[in-house]
Structure 1
Amino acid sequence: MHVAKPLRYGFLLLPQSSMADFAIATEILTRANQLAEKKLYEFLPLSLDGQPVRLSNGLRQPVDLPLGYAPKLDGLFILSDDIGAEVSVEELSRGILSNHLDSQLIVGLGCGSYWMARAGLLGGQRTTIHWREMARLSEEFPDIIVSANLYENQGNRMSCAGGAATLDFMLALVSTQHSHEFAARLSELFSLERLRPSHERQRIPLATRIGGSQPKLTEAVSLMEANIEEPLSTDDIAYYVGVSRRQLERLFKQYLNTVPSKYYLELRLNQARQLLQQTSKSIVQIGLACGFSSGPHFSSTYRNYFGITPREERAQRSQPIN
């Protein structure tokens, strides 16, 4: 009788990888083996040089082998939580080619898709990455379609935003390789009420934070998020959601402990901060993109809120690896 061989996956830990992503992904595979009462999966922790890797929590994780010396793999998971980490893209590419992994399943967890792009593995495909690095990935690789979804499946190229989304992604992967019923039983071991689909977006929606009981407030915030470059007035927002200005202000005060204008300004300033940290757009361009009519107005408002000027913020950001 033919007995299917277990799938063997390599987990490439790059410097500052997330211990949570690594633990969740490998725990799913381990529990799948236990539930099936046979070995469905094998996994090997790897690094580029075979040395232990310092993870984002400061611990050093031992590995089995360097990537280039790994036995035949059915797929490779690339883990990263820091796109500013010192990583040899040449060594990464060489390890992938030497194991003939360019035609196998390759998954980016957390910020792993950034290094997949650096190694030329994505080529215009749709991918996701942890939300804090989306702007940077889009700027460096304009041909790649950057998604805000929890995870993306592009055949033998997959990506996941990391964190809790790793659990959803790994269970979905097991489901496609075995069955939905098996994955559902596996999810019960982790006390999951439901599996989130790939198209759910990152970050906790406002409706979830306030219990979904205030659709007018949720609609107002959605309007703000969709109109960063040309901000709406509080009166306009109230009109569009069908409440009075006073009612809108009362909702913001009761559920978000602020007023609409301040909440809107904070949205715009946080968007500006993300663009300053992750893109090379000029400060003037960023100010305009976030609804500030002049450079001095943007600079003074930014300094009053964050305590530093946009120029100082830009100077503090990590330089990209050349």
Structure 2
Amino acid sequence: MASPTPRCFTFLLLDRFTMLPFAATLDALRLANKLSGKPLYEWRLVGTAGPFATCSNGSRMAVDAGVDDDIAATRDEVVVVCGGDAITTQGTRPVLAWLRRQARSGATMAAVCTGAHLLAKAGLLDGRRATIHWENHDSFAETFPDVALHRQVFVDDGARLTAGGGTSSIDMMLHLIGQTHERDLVSQIADQMLHTAIRTGRDHQRLSVATRIGIRHPRLAAIVTRIEANLENPISPPELAADAGISTRQLERLFMRYLDRSPKRYYLEARLGRARHLLLLTDLPLIEIAVACGFSSSSHFSKCYRERYGSSPHRERGVQKAAVVAMPARPDPVLALAS
């Protein structure tokens, strides 16, 4: 049943939040009000530092309050954590305390893009199901083993909702709106957003392997899918071939013809790709990253990494951290206009 009073949404805009999932989430609420002719929803924006929140594209958004202000959510409220770049640096003590305070009030806690990282860091996803943007999936799984992580576009675990980012935020919001309002309103919102295929919590984030690698060979796609699912414990080419019902020679020919590399090389590049994500998106020690990606030692991992990317893991991580620290502050537009 719809509430006779507007339901409030509080958006926590983290530094360098991504614009698309935030805008999609907010606009779904705006359209619900417009199409119903009633104020079904209201919202406010909360920042982490100062009167503006900076988006990953450089835009700045004026906020209504900060995490240091005395804001307490109500039981019927939804708090949406909007994440983006450099999410591992956003979990400051004031931000985590603010999130825990809102959760204790009984509010539904939601997150879009990488916002689930902060919900997990605050301990609000322990023992629960969740999702995060596919690019951060591996690093999240390594950092928060107590969270049941899924690869769906969004996950509804009662008082916790998470969406992977991008347009998945639309699907999460249509699902949430549909819990208390007529299906016809949900369809009208989707039409207005030109969202012609409403996805459910069972739909996956990424394109199929066949689409991503640009092939339509079902047997090769199945082999690549198995490779991606077994990066920590690599499977030998003879075993891959045997399980696919072909010879090792046929396996080699398939990979060379369609992917221009041997199965062994493809497997190595996939493992190094995952390692690079973990290296840049987590603070895990190199040896843990090496083991998580199927390397027997950190020295072997470093050697392969240097050959692939032209830089050692130590150096690349150092350059990444230096770039984040050295990011210049953007001028305050109000002060700029005043001068």
Contact 2:96/2:121, CA 8 A, preserved across alignment: no
Give the C-alpha shift of residue 299 in structure 1. 2.4
Q: Deviations over 1:233-253 (max 9, x none)?
A: 434323322345555445445
Question: Could you tell me which residue of structure 2 aligns to residue 103 of structure 1?
Answer: 106
Question: Could you tell me which residue of structure 2 aligns to residue 22 of structure 1?
Answer: 22
- Structure 1 283/15 Cα, relative in aligned 2: closer, same or farther at 3 Å? closer
Report the AA paired with residue 7 of structure 1: R
Give the C-alpha shift of residue 291 in structure 1. 3.4
Give the C-alpha shift of residue 17 in structure 1. 0.9
Question: Could you tell me which residue of structure 1 aligns to residue 46 of structure 2?
Answer: 46
Give the C-alpha shift of residue 13 in structure 1. 0.8
SS of the equivalent of 1:111 reads coil
SS of the equivalent of 2:87 reads coil
SS of the equivalent of 2:162 reads strand
SS of the equivalent of 1:193 reads coil
Identical aligned pairs, as a percentage?
34
Q: Structure 1: how far apart are the matches of 2:275 and 2:49?
A: 38
Gaps of 5+ in 1: none
Q: Structure 2: how far apart are the matches of 1:229 and 1:100?
A: 35
Question: Could you tell me which residue of structure 1 aligns to residue 57 of structure 2?
Answer: 57
Question: Could you tell me which residue of structure 2 aligns to residue 200 of structure 1?
Answer: 203
**How do residues 202-221 of structure 1 correspond to structure 2 at under 5 angstroms?**
202-209=205-212, 213-221=216-224
Q: Structure 1: how far apart are the matches of 2:245 and 2:56?
A: 46
Question: Could you tell me which residue of structure 2 aligns to residue 147 of structure 1?
Answer: 150
Give the C-alpha shift of residue 260 in structure 1. 2.8
Report the AA paired with residue 52 of structure 1: F
Give the C-alpha shift of residue 317 in structure 1. 5.2
Report the AA paired with residue 160 of structure 1: A
- Structure 1 134/37 Cα, relative in aligned 2: closer, same or farther at 3 Å? same
SS of the equivalent of 1:143 reads coil
Q: Structure 2: how far apart are the matches of 1:230 and 1:142?
A: 18
Give the C-alpha shift of residue 128 in structure 1. 1.9
- Structure 1 179/270 Cα, relative in aligned 2: closer, same or farther at 3 Å? same
SS of the equivalent of 1:24 reads helix
Q: Structure 2: how far apart are the matches of 1:146 and 1:93?
A: 23
Question: Could you tell me which residue of structure 1 aligns to residue 329 of structure 2?
Answer: none
**Residue among 114, 118, 122 paired with 2:117:** 114
Does residue 325 of structure 2 align to residue 312 of structure 1?
A: no
SS of the equivalent of 2:58 reads coil
Give the C-alpha shift of residue 173 in structure 1. 1.3
- Structure 1 215/111 Cα, relative in aligned 2: closer, same or farther at 3 Å? same
Report the AA paired with residue 274 of structure 2: Q
Does residue 228 of structure 2 align to residue 225 of structure 1?
A: yes
- Structure 1 316/88 Cα, relative in aligned 2: closer, same or farther at 3 Å? same
Contact 1:109/1:161, CA 8 A, preserved across alignment: yes
**Residue among 222, 231, 236 paired with 2:239:** 236
- Structure 1 64/145 Cα, relative in aligned 2: closer, same or farther at 3 Å? same
Question: Could you tell me which residue of structure 2 aligns to residue 90 of structure 1?
Answer: 94
SS of the equivalent of 1:203 reads coil
Q: Structure 2: how far apart are the matches of 1:225 and 1:176?
A: 36
Q: Structure 2: how far apart are the matches of 1:254 and 1:177?
A: 53
